[in-house]
């Protein structure tokens, strides 16, 4: 790469959207989120930019932004060429690693920077990220993964076999994605703060828009859940997939009894029934609730916990998150683990910009890893897309394959200014919303 691709500056922004005013995103554990991005821009000498962010729900976004700043020394003065090596350099830095290791605020900061590097690399190569990854040689993909702590479940050789097996159909799947897109489900009807009329109207709209699955938030009050699920089932009809999401609300025993009390409404999966760290608890819940599936992942902190969940039979749906684990690289490890264990990946996307990012990972999975969309579906939420340069496009219940180069991560400059915290106009210039 030339001097033009030398990264000469890192810029960060604390961006917050006052979504709590409308109860968008409200659930049993997060009643009033302000969807936020700890946002990073990498600038190259030649003018190219890479954008990335960590998603938070408001307070603490300043802490997340400060964590991103500590990574400036790893990227300024470098080029986005060997992203396997650069990711491992950040994740293995012994002093920063002490703050995790490989979990929490510091790991999410690495994710933001890694994803910004991938946005930059994809732009420099003139391809949308899903296609850049989907056209890489299997050996190169394997070189992006950190196999430390994985080899008892997945070796580099096995990863290579998975990728080679998927190679023959790649071109056909790229063509199919470009024509038809990738299936989506919508969480928009199901936020806990919405009233029954809004729930009914949004369920109907989801069907009219071509979605084949919706998700409802549960876990605050059992009678409310029964009433809301009855309404959703009435509107959607039998056989339509309705997932439920407790956002970590329950202990193991109450997860089992609560979901059993909702069984008559035929929930397709129960999401985050308990702590995302509780590998064995999830396994107990999965055994007790089968054939209802257990789904989790949006708060699973790294590939090691995913590995254990797959080994223990704790989940039947892997919900990776584009901005939580160590970015694109660690998510490739998680996609390969899921393929090894034969578990479908249905990514998490409830947040600002997560739909934009995660579509690329699911499409890469289809093209080059699992080779399948069977029982695979990407979450869709309808908020805040208008603030992005290259927002997701949903048609007939499907994400349309992004065509613009990059990772679809960039917010519009006017959004960065309007929602800057605490000084932006959306926050009255002083962090208040009233």
How far is 376 from 53, CA to CA, in rounded Å? 25
**CB proximity list for 59: less than 8 A, separation 6 or greater:** none
DSSP string, 92-119: H-HHHHTT-SS-HHHHHHHHHHHHHHHH
Minimum distance from residue 225 beta carbon to Mg ion (Å): 15
**Number of residue whose CB is nearest Mg ion:** 245
Catalytic residue among 13, 107, 127, 217: 217
Q: Which stretch binds Mg ion (CB under 5 A): 94-102, 112-120, 244-252, 331-339?
A: 244-252
**CB proximity list for 66: less than 8 A, separation 6 or greater:** none
Closest to 398 (Cα-Cα) out of 372, 373, 365, 421: 373
Answer yes or no whether residue 119 interacts with Mg ion by CB under 5 A: no
How far is CA 363 from its chain centroid? 13
Total of residues contacting Mg ion (CB under 5 A): 2
* Residue 293 annotated as catalytic: no
Burial class for 117, CB neighbours closer than 10 Å (0-12, 13-18, 19+): buried
Footprint on residues 257-296 left by Mg ion (CB under 5 A): 271
Minimum distance from residue 276 beta carbon to Mg ion (Å): 10
Catalytic residue among 348, 360, 387, 398: 348
3-class DSSP state for residue 196? helix
* Residue 282 annotated as catalytic: no
How far is 212 from 206, CA to CA, in rounded Å? 8
Q: Which is nearer to Mg ion, 225 or 245 (CB)?
A: 245
Q: Which is nearer to Mg ion, 158 or 272 (CB)?
A: 272
Q: Which stretch binds Mg ion (CB under 5 A): 156-164, 237-245, 320-328, 418-426?
A: 237-245
Q: Which is nearer to Mg ion, 163 or 244 (CB)?
A: 244
Closest to 236 (Cα-Cα) out of 277, 265, 260: 265
Answer yes or no whether residue 102 interacts with Mg ion by CB under 5 A: no
Q: What is the DSSP letter of 86?
A: H
Q: Which stretch binds Mg ion (CB under 5 A): 205-213, 238-246, 254-262, 418-426?
A: 238-246
Minimum distance from residue 215 beta carbon to Mg ion (Å): 8
Answer yes or no whether residue 245 interacts with Mg ion by CB under 5 A: yes
- List of residues contacting Mg ion (CB under 5 A): 245, 271
Q: Which residues are catalytic?
A: 217, 348
């Amino acid at each position: 790469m030339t001097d033009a691709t030398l990264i000469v500056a890192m810029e960060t922004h604390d961006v917050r959207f006052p979504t709590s005013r409308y109860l968008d995103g409200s659930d049993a554990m997060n009643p009033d989120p302000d969807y936020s991005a700890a946002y990073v821009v990498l600038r190259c000498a030649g003018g190219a930019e890479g954008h990335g962010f960590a998603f938070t729900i408001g307070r603490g976004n300043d802490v997340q932004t400060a964590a991103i700043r500590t990574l400036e020394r790893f990227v300024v003065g470098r080029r986005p060429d060997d992203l396997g090596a650069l990711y491992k350099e950040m994740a293995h830095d012994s002093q920063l690693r002490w703050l995790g290791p490989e979990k929490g605020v510091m790991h999410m900061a690495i994710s933001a920077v890694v994803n910004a590097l991938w946005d930059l690399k994809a732009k420099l190569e003139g391809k949308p990220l899903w296609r850049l990854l989907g056209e890489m040689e299997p050996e190169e993909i394997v070189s992006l993964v950190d196999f430390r702590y994985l080899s008892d479940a997945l070796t580099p050789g096995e990863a290579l076999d998975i990728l080679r097996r998927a190679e023959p159909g790649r071109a056909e799947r790229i063509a199919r994605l470009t024509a038809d897109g990738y299936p989506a489900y919508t969480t928009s009807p199901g936020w806990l703060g919405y009233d029954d009329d809004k729930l009914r109207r949004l369920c109907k709209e989801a069907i009219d828009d071509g979605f084949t699955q919706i998700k409802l938030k549960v876990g605050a009050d059992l009678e409310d859940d029964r009433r809301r699920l009855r309404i959703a089932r009435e509107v959607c009809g039998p056989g339509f997939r309705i997932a439920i999401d407790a956002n970590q609300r329950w202990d193991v025993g109450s997860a089992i009894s609560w979901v059993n009390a909702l069984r008559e409404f035929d929930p397709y999966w129960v999401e985050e029934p308990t702590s995302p760290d509780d590998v064995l608890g999830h396994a107990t819940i999965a055994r007790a609730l089968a054939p209802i599936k257990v789904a989790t992942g949006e708060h699973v902190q790294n590939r090691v916990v995913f590995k254990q969940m797959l080994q223990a039979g704790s989940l039947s749906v892997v919900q990776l998150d584009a901005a939580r684990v160590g970015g694109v690289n660690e998510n490739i490890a998680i996609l390969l683990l899921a393929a090894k264990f034969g578990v479908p990946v249905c990514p998490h996307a409830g947040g600002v910009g997560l739909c934009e990012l995660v579509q690329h990972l699911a499409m890469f999975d289809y093209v080059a890893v699992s080779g399948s969309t069977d029982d695979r579906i990407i979450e869709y939420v309808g908020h805040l897309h208008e603030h992005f340069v290259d927002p997701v496009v949903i048609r007939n219940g499907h994400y349309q394959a992004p065509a613009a180069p990059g990772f679809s991560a960039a917010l519009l400059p006017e959004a960065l200014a309007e929602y800057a915290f605490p000084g932006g106009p959306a926050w009255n210039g002083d962090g208040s919303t009233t």
